[in-house]
Amino acid sequence: MTQKIIDVVGTSTESFAKAADAAIKEAAKTVRNIKWAHVESLDMLVDGAAIKQYRTTTKIYFDVEN
């Protein structure tokens, strides 16, 4: 088995979990055989003391078809 890894950035105004979910859902639109995902980094867009947006950089692992 051979796997490929891509980085996808997901965003949400609600949470890091929803941002990671958005990244996986977006990748699944064009990538088949997704097996694993790993959140590489967490970021927030902040305005003063208010969090405006959550962002995750997510590594998507998928099987390469032979």
CATH number of the CATH domain containing 19: 3.30.1660.10
Which pLDDT score, from 0 to 100, does residue 57 have?
A: 98
- Residue 28 half-sphere exposure, CB side, CA atoms within 13 Å? 11
- List the pLDDT tens digit at each of the 66 positions of the chain: 799 999 999 999 999 999 999 999 999 999 999 999 999 999 999 999 999 999 999 999 999 987
Q: Distance (Å, rounded) from C-alpha 13 to C-alpha 40?
A: 19
pLDDT of residue 29: 96
Number of separate domains in the chain: 1
C-alpha–C-alpha distance, residues 32 and 47, integer Å: 38
Q: Can you list the alpha helix ranges (DSSP code H) found in 1-66?
A: 16-28
Domain that holds residue 16: 3-63
pTM for the whole thing? 0.89
